[in-house]
Amino acid sequence: MSVFIYDPPQEPFLNILYEDDFIVVCDKPSGLLSVPGRLLEHQDSLIYRIRQTTKDAQAVHRLDMDTSGIMVVAKDSQTAGLLGKQFISHDVKKAYIAKVLGLIEKSGSIDAPLRCDWENRPLQIVDYKQGKPSLTLFERISSDDNSSIVKLLPKTGRSHQLRVHLASIGHPIAGDRFYAKGEALKLSSRLCLHAAFLEFKHPYTNEVMLFSTKASFAKDVDPSAWIV
């Protein structure tokens, strides 16, 4: 088994999409942790970088280290609490884009309960007896000889949900070092999963805030036109 070495990208140090007195919205690169890890060598993260200028910044949601895309960060604990309520009540709208192995169906849903694989943490597994309800909707955007580009709408927020769900139906995400093998793993040097669309209400003005970014592995797909 290969030894994992944490070597997050340094340029750009932060890709800020929006900032005001209360929130920061960033486009996190693949390979960067969302929050600091326990070990000293795992301190570098999106939150760590924002705290260089905003010492009380707090995460209200996370993306897997290997996943790129949009994250909103609160600048203080009160704002974090207000934003957190939107995530808990599922008032936040999210959409992802992924490149998967093979020709996936035009559209569908994956309704498969998930739980932690305790003997192989942090991996997750489908478990119809002990797993927590987990639902993902998908829509194929394009395809080629051996892969498909898909839009993903997670209706629950389980750890590794999109990665496990797609692998469970035989279409693992390209470059997924946890759940892909063989051809799927060789399709990309990075996990081809990107948080492309995020919509929430500003915690103080109640204004609808909508953000979208393109994925490096699907530059011809414009998520700004998506209605979630």
Catalytic residues: 64
Taking the CA atoms of 127, 128, 130 and 134 in sequence, report the sign of the dihedral they define: positive
**Which residues are registered as beta bridge partners of 27?**
70
Instruction: Answer yes or no: are the C-beta atoms of 27 and 17 closer than 8 Å.
Output: yes
Token pair 């994925």 in the structure block, residue: 215
Distance CA 163, CA 166 (A): 6
Distance CA 31, CA 181 (A): 19
- Distances from the Cα of 105 to the Cα of 32, 131, 140, 147, 183, angstroms: 31, 25, 7, 12, 19
